[in-house]
Chain A
C-alpha cells in the first residue's frame, strides 16, 4: 500500500496501536550468552506482518496479525499460529459498471524449527511450516455477487530470527508458503513476533 494513501484516521489508528502495544516495552539489559535462559518450555504471544501471493490476483493476504503458542524439545521448536489477514479491497466503476472485490483469510499453521544459537540471546531457526488458510469474501459486479469460502493448504520453509530473554521471546518470522492446489510460486510472508516464556 503506498504511503501516500495513508489518511488522517489511519495515522490515528497507527498511533493508537503503538500506544496500546507500548506497555510491552520496559528496560532490561540483554543477558550474556552464557546466561541464555533455556529452562522454560513454553511460549505464547502475538505476531503482526504482511504476506503476498505472487501468482494469482487474489488479494486475501496483505496485513495480518494473530497469536502463537509453542514449545520446545531440546533444540527443536514447535509453534502453532493463528493469523487473520485483512486482504485488500479492489473496486472500479464508470457510469455503467460497478466492480468490487474484497477477500480476507484466516490461517492456522504449525511450524517446526531447529534452533541455531548465533550470539548472546539471538538464535536463527530454520524449519518448515504447514497449515491451511480459509479464504473468504466476495466479488460484486453490478447486481451480481459471488461469495467465496475456500480452504487452501500450504506448506513451505520458514526462518525465525529470535531474541530470547528471561521472560520474553521476540523476533522476525519469514516464510514462503506453497499452495500446491493453486499456484507454482510461493506466498511470501514476514511477521514480527512478541511473546512470553513460561
Chain B
C-alpha cells in the first residue's frame, strides 16, 4: 500500500505550500450562502389601544421555543385563542442558543404570528449568541435600542417597562454583556433611564417585565442583581413584575425589599417560565410564594384595568388553574 513520504530537505517548502493549499480550501467554510430572510417588520400603529375599552388583555410567558419538544406550539395555540392586545415574551425565547435559525425556524413558526404585538424581554439564552444579535434583529426594534434591551410603552391605562436583567453570571453568557448595555446597579445607565422614564410617565398602574426573577422558589433562585431596579420601581409605586428563567409558574405576594410582604406598597411578581421549555421542579421555597406549579405548560392571561389587574393561568392540559385580582396602588 503506498503511503506518504517526503524528503527532509524540502520539508518546510512543502509545509508552506500545504498551508497555502489549506488556506485556498478555506473559502469552503467562510460563506454559508445568501442572508436569511427576516419576516417583515410589520407596523403596529394600533399597539397600545385595546379591543375592550375597559382593559388591555395581555398574554405573558417566557422560556418558550424548544424544537426538541415543540411544546411551544401548544402554548402558541393558547395565545391564539385568547386573542390578546399584547404578548409579553419574558426571555429565553429560542432554545438553546437564541441563534438566527432558532428564531426563524423554531420560534417564528409558532409564536411569530403574534410578533407585531409582542413586546419581549431579553433572556440569558439570547446572549449565547454574540450580543443577542438575532433577538434584536428578529424583533425589529420593538425590543428597544439595538443591543440595549430596555424600553417602555403604554398599553391601555398602563405604563410598562421592559428591562435587561443579564447582569449575573449565567453559564454561556459573556461577562462583558452587562458592561455592553450598562448593567443593572443603581448608577447604571439602565437605572437612570428607568427612574427618568417612570418620572416622565406617571401612571396609576405600572408593570415591568424582565427575565431573571428577583424572588424565585424554582431553579436558579432569585436574581439579586435586579434589586436596585426593583427598588426604583418600588419607589415609583409600580404594581407588577413578570419574569421567567425558572421553568415553572409561581405567583408571589406583593413585597417590598428586602422581601417583606406589603399589600399597600409591595410589587407582586409572577414567574412564568412555562412557555414551552421543559419544566423543572422547585428547590428553596420563597416565604412569599403563594401559588406554584411545574406540572404543565401554559401562559398567563392578564387583564390590565385602569385601577387593577386580573390574572388567569391558562394551561395546555386541564387541571391547574390560578385566578385572582389585585388593585393598583
A interface, CB within 8 angstroms of B: 1, 5-7, 9-10, 13-14, 16-21, 23-30, 44-46, 48, 50, 55-58, 62-63, 65-67, 86-97, 99-101, 103, 137, 139, 141-142, 144, 146, 148, 150, 163, 165-168, 170, 182-184, 194, 196, 198
Would you give the shortest CB distance from A119 to chain B, in whole angstroms? 13
Cα A6 to Cα B28 with chains together (Å): 7
A23 contact set on B, CB distance < 8 A: 6, 14, 17
Within 8 Å by CB of A48, from B25, B140, B141, lies B25
Residue B200, interface by CB 8 Å: no
In the complex the two chains form, is A196's CB within 8 Å of B35's CB? no
For the complex, what is the distance from the CA of A151 to the CA of B2, rounded to whole Å?
42
- Which A residues lie within 8 Å of B17 (CB)? 20-21, 23
B130 — nearest CB in chain A belongs to which residue?
A: A139
Tell me how far the C-beta of B67 lies from the nearest C-beta in chain A, rounded to whole angstroms.
14
Please tell me if the beta carbons of B146 and A141 are within 8 angstroms of each other in the complex.
Answer: yes
The answer to whether A1 touches B29 (Cβ under 8 A) is yes
A-B contact count (CB 8 A): 212
A29-B3 contact, Cβ under 8 Å, with A21-B21, A55-B128, A146-B130 = yes
Instruction: For B98, give the chain A residue with the smallest CB separation.
Output: A57
Contact between chains at A24 and B4 (CB < 8 Å): yes
Contact of A17 with B24 in the complex, beta carbons under 8 Å: yes
Interface status of B266 (Cβ within 8 A of chain A): no
For B, the interface residue count at a CB cutoff of 8 angstroms equals 59
> Please, what's the 1-or-0 string for B30-41, where 1 marks a CB less than 8 Å from any CB in chain A?
111101111111
Q: Which of A20, A45, A97 makes the CB contact (< 8 A) with B41?
A: A97
> Does A168 contact B4, Cβ atoms closer than 8 Å?
yes
Q: Does B217 reach chain A (CB closer than 8 Å)?
A: no
**24 residue pairs A–B, Cβ–Cβ below 8 Å:** A16-B21, A17-B22, A21-B21, A23-B17, A24-B6, A24-B14, A24-B18, A27-B2, A28-B4, A44-B15, A55-B97, A55-B172, A57-B99, A57-B130, A67-B15, A67-B19, A88-B29, A90-B36, A92-B36, A92-B134, A95-B40, A101-B129, A146-B147, A196-B15
Q: What's the Cα separation between A66 and B128 when bound, in Å?
A: 27
- In the complex, whether B136 has a CB less than 8 A from a CB of chain A is yes
**In whole Å, how far is A107's beta carbon from the nearest beta carbon of chain B?**
15
Instruction: Report B-chain residues with C-beta under 8 Å of the C-beta of A20.
Output: 17-18, 20-21, 24
Residues of A within 8 A of B171 (CB): 182-184
Write out the residue numbers on chain B whose beta carbons fall within 8 Å of the beta carbon of A150. Answer: 174, 176
With contact pairs A10-B27, A58-B128 given, residues A29 and B1 touching in the complex (Cβ less than 8 Å): yes
Would you list the 9 A-B pairs with minimal beta carbon distance, nearest first? A20-B21, A57-B129, A57-B97, A63-B29, A99-B137, A17-B25, A91-B35, A57-B99, A65-B22
Contacts of B23 in A (CB 8 A): 65
A108 to chain B, nearest CB (A): 16
| Cβ contacts under 8 Å, A95 to chain B | 40-41
| B8, B20, B99, B100: the one within 8 Å of A167 (CB) | B8
- Beyond A21-B17, A95-B40, A144-B146: 16 further Cβ-contacts under 8 Å? A9-B27, A17-B21, A23-B6, A30-B3, A62-B29, A65-B25, A90-B36, A90-B134, A92-B100, A97-B141, A99-B133, A99-B134, A167-B6, A182-B171, A184-B171, A196-B11
